[in-house]
Amino acid sequence: MYKLLFCLMAGGALTASASTITFQPTSQTVNLGATATVDVNLSGLSAGQALGAFDLLVDSNSSIIDPTSVTFFNYLGNPTLELTGSNLTSSSVEAAETSFETTATLLGLQGTQPFSLFAITYNAIGVGTSTLTLGSFPEILADGSGNKLALPTVTAGSITVVNGSPSTVPEPSTLVLMMSGLGVLGSAVRRRHLAQR
Amino acid sequence: MFLSCGVIGACSITCANAQTTNQGTDFYLGFSQNYSGGPNLVLFLTGGTATTGTVAVPGLAFTTPFSVTPGTITAVDLPASTESQGSDVIINNGIHVTSMAPVTVYGLNQIPYTTDAYLGLPKPLLGTNYIVLGYAGGAGGPSEFQIVGSQDGTQVTITPSADSTNHPAGIPFKITLNELQTYELQATSDSTDLSGTLISSTQPIALFGGSVCTNIPNDNFVACDYVVEQIPATGSWGKDFLTVPLDTRRNGDTFRVLASQAGTTVTIDGTVVTTLGAAQFYQTELSDTANHTINTSQPSLVAQYSNSTTYDGVLSDPMMMLISPTEQFQTSYSVTTPASSPETYTNYINVVAKASDVSTCKVDGNPIPAFKPIGTSGYDGAQIPVATGTHNLSCPDPFGSYVYGFASYDSYGYPGGLGGMGINHLNRCDVNGDGQVDYRDVDVIFADRNTPANGVDDERDADGDLEITVADARICQQKCTYTACATH
């Protein structure tokens, strides 16, 4: 408990954030036993500022949804060539990425905000509503030079699991991504290792 | 490791903005040898939140609980046998301080006419690369240093800068320390100095540098006195230092600047005075009529020494006090003087604060008078006479504080606080030590993310914040020797 309090105290000492983390869709409803996928998006980087690395923890209610996979997007480079990693528990997902791209390349990739950092797919295992929000640790955004950015503000999302027909379904764009086979779970991708540098 | 965390509060990992000051919950400390006579060994503990903890010397079967109330100081007396005696000896007398919430620890080794104190550094601020700073021996005993192990099986390599017991100058030798074992080494001649001794270790260790009983600036002045400070690892040394003369002294104070890297230029009050090699130090006397600036081109360690009484005929004697680099200033301090028994000291606190803050800085809730400029640094310095007991200092912006006192042929001194933030981190990232930074180094850092740095000089801790994170991986990616972090 002390460590948690200390973490919260330390986090509270940081300066106000300019960036924002949102969940897309912000809310969705799925049938019990179905899957739901949510994108974690970033906006609010200042002009000329690129995101070079991130490490975020997304908390959820383990009695309602169970995380099964994490998918990384291309806004920090091709995720098969960057360093990515994820760790899943029943109530949280850590997703981390460090880009090998130059800051100039990152600025080009991240030209339009918000952009998606990663998507999480959950199994709906219990009736109810699970809030999706960021945990306090790890919570790291770093710019192209590796300088840590101020902690982002967070707009929480939610997933509601029902026994009947869902009122909404995952967005088509997310479904396409789910089927694209980019999912990576629990391991760091070895960029360029296979390229025999 | 991360998978074991069901909820945040259950994680065993550290958090963002890890502790980077001398406040901590886990300390490995020791007391090096003082002049002959049964020492009064005391740990002073204070903290910003009420907490409890334990002081233990397992090798002596000594343990005692303590509690800390904010704004007050708790004193814990230790057995006299906690002090190391002898040279080239390994003893089971290391001190382990643990607490539920962060505390500040000061150590006092007091024998009438020969006393000094040090600021304790918590385990996260320990490192694996050190250079000893102490002083030459004097009429009463030799130059010395003491190492305290924090983990079993720690291999320590020592290259003494002067002939010492069983070990000639310049010849490296190895010892192995277990947790809370101490190793003390003393010079074989009272006229030589172990400052500049190189120490590296496989796991973080604590180092205490000083002298059993030294005359300062040299043996032409009496009397001798024990001097000691806990020495920070080179990874947390700084470049910019601001000094205020010791109150009441009439001929100024002795200063040493110890360089971590070759080609370090030393600038005092705007004038370059020397260029040092790695592990070399520059010693000078700085006047008592003005405050002074000391700047170095590479990370260095600076200490202020009280001269022997006959240097100026003032009530005093030698002590050693590290000067905090400005990068490591803090916004508040709780400090204490020794008790008034067995000796009564006249006590002082020197404060270095931004010139724009001097009207709002407080000592025990009262304004601090008589600030004077420190060159053109934008900082002012003040000397504050204080009564025996606890004192609380605060300023709006980070500032430096130094506590010291004088008695008949005696003195003590220590910095109010030191940050451990890895300042000396610009050349890191070669994690595997192969002479280049490449994807293999970055991979290791990324895989080790969200773990504490292994001391203040961890190659993985590229930003020096004592945590391994994805930001360190990104910094090192930027430092890759070849394009695309390739190997050649």
Q: Rounded to an integer, what is the distance from CA B400 to the centroid of its chain? A: 14
Task: Answer whether B475 sits within 8 Å of A146, measured CB to CB.
Answer: yes
Q: How far apart are CA A186 and CA A85, in angstroms?
A: 6
Q: How many angstroms separate the CA of residue A55 from the nearest CA in chain B?
A: 7
Q: Calculate the alpha carbon distances from B416 to A47, B144, B330, B393 in Å.
A: 42, 23, 9, 10
| Chain A residues in contact with B473 (beta carbon < 8 A) | 53, 83, 98, 146
Helix (H, G, I), strand (E, B) or coil at B236: helix
Task: Answer whether A146 sits within 8 Å of B477, measured CB to CB.
Answer: yes
Q: How many angstroms separate the CA of residue B415 from the nearest CA in chain A?
A: 24
Domain residue ranges of chain A, discontinuous segments joined by +: 17-171
In this prediction the ipTM stands at 0.81
Supply the pLDDT for residue B334: 87
Supply the pLDDT for residue A194: 33
Out of 2.60.40.680, 1.20.1090.10, 3.50.50.60, 3.40.718.10, select the CATH number for domain A17-171: 2.60.40.680
From A10, A57, A87, residue closest to B3, measured CB to CB: A87
Q: Find tokens 């050190």 and name the residue.
A: B130
Instruction: Count chain A–chain B contacts defined by CB atoms under 8 A.
Output: 134
Average pLDDT over every residue of A123-127? 97
Q: Which of B63, B59, B49 is nearest to B103 (CA)?
A: B49
pTM comes to 0.76
Is residue A188 predicted with pLDDT exceeding 80? no
Supply the pLDDT for residue B483: 86
From A6, A140, A188, residue closest to B469, measured CB to CB: A140
Q: Calculate the alpha carbon distances from A33 to A23, A62, A64, A130 in Å.
A: 22, 14, 10, 15
Q: Find tokens 């220590």 and name the residue.
A: B414
Q: Given pLDDT bands bounded at 50, 70 and 90, which one contains residue A177?
A: very low
Q: What is the average pLDDT score of chain A? A: 81
Cα nearest neighbour of A6 on chain B:
B15
Domain residue ranges of chain B, discontinuous segments joined by +: 2-15+425-485, 24-415
Which residue numbers in chain B have pLDDT < 70?
1-20, 419-426
Task: For CA atoms A70, A76, A77, A82, give the dihedral sign.
Answer: negative
Q: Give the residue from B17, B25, B103, B463 with the most A CB atoms within 10 Å of its CB, the best one to mutate.
A: B17
Q: How many angstroms separate the CA of residue A76 from the nearest CA in chain B?
A: 12
Query: What is the DSSP annotation of B300-317?
Result: EEEEEEEPPGGGTT-S--
Token pair for B267? 């600038």
Q: What angle do CA B402, B406, B408 make, to 5 degrees?
A: 165
Read off φ and ψ for residue A159, nearest 5 degrees. Answer: -130, 125
Supply the pLDDT for residue B484: 84
From B15, B473, B476, residue closest to A6, measured CB to CB: B15
Supply the pLDDT for residue B421: 58
| Chain B residues in contact with A136 (beta carbon < 8 A) | 8, 15-16
Task: Answer whether A85 sits within 8 Å of B447, measured CB to CB.
Answer: yes
Q: Which of B472, B475, B458 is nearest to B235 (CA)?
A: B458
Q: What is the CATH number that goes with domain B2-15+425-485?
A: 1.10.1330
